[in-house]
C-alpha cells in the first residue's frame, strides 16, 4: 500500500494520464473520507476537546466549566482535570453530542456546600447523544442536611449515557430522567443518597415519563437502562412514575433503607398515569436494612427474572392502590436466599394485581450491554473506510 501511494504521489505531475486520473479519484476519496472521519468523531463525541484547569474549590469553578461547554460549536468533549469543583448552581449542556468527562470518579469531584437546594449539578434538555463520565457528584454531606440535590437531570434527552460516575448524598436522586428521555446509566455507584431530615426521596435513579402510556413492548430501546452499577444505602435504588419505562439489570444492591430496593409507582403524587413497565433481571439484591421485601410494583407491567434476593422476608410485593393497574407481571427463575422465603404476594384496595410465574410469550430483552451501540456505530464507519481503500486499490 505504501509503494502504491508513493507511485501515485509522483504521478501528480510526472505520471501517465491514467495515473493522474487515479490520483484525482483518490483526492476525491480522501475528501469524502475526511468527511466520514468527522462524522465518526462526532459520533464518538470527540471532535473538539477542552481541558479545564485543575479545580481549586473556588467560586469560579462552575463558570470555568460552563465557559468550556459554551465554547463548543458542535459535538465535542470537555475534559475536566482532577480536582474539587464547587458547583452551587447548575451546569447546562445546551447542545447534543457533548461529552463531559472527568479524570475518574475518585479524582474529579463536583460538590455542593449550600444546604437546602433542590437543583441539579448538571442539566440537559431536548438534546441528544450526550455523555457524562468519570465524575463524582457529592451533595451536602452533613448528617443533618435537608438538601434534595440532583446529580444529573435529563429532560427529553435521547441516546444519553452516564457512566463510571459516583453519586453520594444527592438528597433527591443521583440521576433523574424526565419526559421522552432514553439511554443508559452504567458502571456507576450510588451511595447514601437518603437524608433522614428530608424523610423521603433518596433514590439512586428516578425515572419519569411523558405522563401517558405509549404502548411500547418489553424489549424496546425507548427506556432508561440502568446496568452494571452499585447501589448502597439508597431508599430506592430505582423508582418511576408518569408513564416511565426502565430496565434494571446486572446491578448490585445492598443495604436499602427505609423502604424496598426496587420500586414502581402507580397514579400518585400528581401523575396522570403511573409506570408503564419495568424489566428487572440479573441483579443481586441483599443485606437489606429494610428487609420486608426487595421489589414493590405499585403500578404498571413488569418482568422480574434471574435475580438473586438475599436476606429479605419476601422477594416481590405487588399492590394496586391507585387507578393504575398493576400487571401483568411475569416472575420466573429467581434465586431466593434463604429458599423458604415467599416469592410474591399480591394485594390491593382498588383492584388485584395480575401476575404469572412464567415468562411472557415472545419476550426478547434488549441486547446487553446497552453501551455497545456506540461501538457498533464506529465499527460501521471503520468498515466503510476499509471498503474505500480496497476499492481504490490501496490495500
* Segment-wise mean pLDDT, segments of 10 residues, the chain, 395 residues: 46 52 50 44 42 55 95 95 96 98 98 97 98 98 97 98 98 98 98 97 98 97 98 98 98 98 97 98 98 98 98 98 97 96 97 98 96 46 44 52
Decide: 211 and 394 in contact? Cβ < 8 Å.
Answer: no
373 three-state secondary structure: helix
**136-152 burial by CB neighbour count: b if 16+ within 10 A, else e?**
bbbbbeeeebebbbbbb
Strand order in the sheet with 49-52: 49-52, 76-80, 98-101, 131-133, 158-163, 182-186, 224-227, 245-249, 277-281, 300-305, 326-332, 355-356
User: What is the model's pLDDT at position 49?
Assistant: 45
At 15 the pLDDT is 55
Percent of the chain residues past pLDDT 90, beyond the cut = 77
Predicted pLDDT at 56: 59
207: nearest Cα among 136, 283, 155, 268 = 155
pLDDT at 277: 98
Distance CA 375, CA 230 (A): 24
Q: Identify the architecture of domain 26-214+224-361 in CATH.
A: 3 Solenoid (2.160)
All cell numbers assigned to 244: 416511565
Distance (Å) of CA 15 to CA 3, 26, 63, 87, 212: 14, 14, 57, 62, 68
Residue 11: which residues within 8 A CB-CB, separation 6 or more? 19, 20, 22, 23
- Residue 355 confidence (pLDDT): 98
| 314 neighbors 290 (Cβ within 8 angstroms) | no
pLDDT number for residue 6? 47
* Per-residue pLDDT, 371: 72
Output the pLDDT for position 57: 57
The confidence score (pLDDT) of residue 18 equals: 54
What pLDDT was estimated at residue 145? 97
Amino acid at each position: 500500500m505504501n509503494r502504491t501511494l508513493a507511485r501515485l504521489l509522483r504521478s501528480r505531475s510526472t505520471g501517465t494520464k491514467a495515473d493522474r486520473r487515479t490520483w484525482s479519484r483518490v483526492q476525491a476519496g480522501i475528501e469524502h473520507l475526511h468527511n466520514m472521519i468527522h462524522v465518526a468523531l462526532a459520533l464518538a463525541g470527540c471532535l473538539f476537546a477542552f481541558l479545564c484547569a485543575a479545580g481549586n474549590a473556588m467560586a469560579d469553578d462552575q463558570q470555568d466549566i460552563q465557559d468550556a461547554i459554551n465554547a463548543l460549536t458542535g459535538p465535542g468533549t470537555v475534559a475536566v482535570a482532577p480536582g474539587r469543583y464547587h458547583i452551587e448552581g447548575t451546569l447546562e449542556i445546551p447542545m447534543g453530542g457533548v461529552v463531559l468527562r472527568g479524570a475518574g470518579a475518585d479524582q474529579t469531584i463536583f460538590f455542593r456546600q449550600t444546604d437546602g437546594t433542590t437543583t441539579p449539578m448538571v442539566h440537559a434538555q431536548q438534546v441528544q447523544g450526550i455523555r457524562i463520565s468519570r465524575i463524582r457528584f457529592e451533595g451536602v454531606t452533613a448528617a443533618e442536611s435537608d438538601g434534595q440535590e440532583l446529580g444529573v437531570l435529563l429532560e427529553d434527552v435521547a441516546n444519553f449515557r452516564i457512566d463510571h460516575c459516583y453519586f453520594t448524598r444527592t438528597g433527591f436522586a443521583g440521576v433523574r430522567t424526565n419526559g421522552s428521555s432514553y439511554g443508559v446509566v452504567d458502571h456507576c455507584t450510588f451511595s447514601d443518597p437518603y437524608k433522614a431530615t428530608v424523610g423521603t426521596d433518596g433514590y439512586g435513579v428516578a425515572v419519569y415519563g411523558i405522563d401517558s402510556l405509549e404502548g411500547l413492548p418489553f424489549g424496546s430501546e425507548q427506556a432508561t437502562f440502568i446496568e452494571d452499577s452499585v447501589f448502597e444505602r439508597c431508599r430506592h435504588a430505582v423508582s418511576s412514575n408518569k408513564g416511565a419505562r426502565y430496565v434494571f439489570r446486572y446491578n448490585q444492591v445492598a443495604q436499602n433503607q427505609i423502604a424496598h430496593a426496587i420500586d414502581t409507582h402507580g397514579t400518585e403524587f400528581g401523575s396522570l398515569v403511573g409506570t408503564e413497565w419495568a424489566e428487572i433481571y440479573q441483579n443481586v439484591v441483599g443485606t437489606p436494612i429494610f428487609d420486608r421485601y426487595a421489589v414493590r410494583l405499585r403500578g404498571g407491567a413488569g418482568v422480574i427474572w434471574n435475580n438473586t434476593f438475599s436476606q429479605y422476608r419476601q422477594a416481590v410485593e405487588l399492590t394496586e392502590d391507585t387507578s393504575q393497574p398493576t400487571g401483568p407481571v411475569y416472575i420466573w427463575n429467581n434465586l431466593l436466599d434463604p429458599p423458604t422465603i415467599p416469592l410474591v404476594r399480591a394485594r390491593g384496595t382498588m383492584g388485584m394485581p395480575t401476575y404469572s410465574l412464567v415468562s411472557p410469550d415472545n419476550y426478547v430483552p434488549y441486547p446487553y450491554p446497552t453501551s455497545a451501540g456506540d461501538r457498533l456505530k464506529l465499527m460501521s464507519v471503520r468498515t466503510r473506510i476499509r471498503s474505500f481503500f480496497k476499492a481504490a486499490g490501496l490495500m
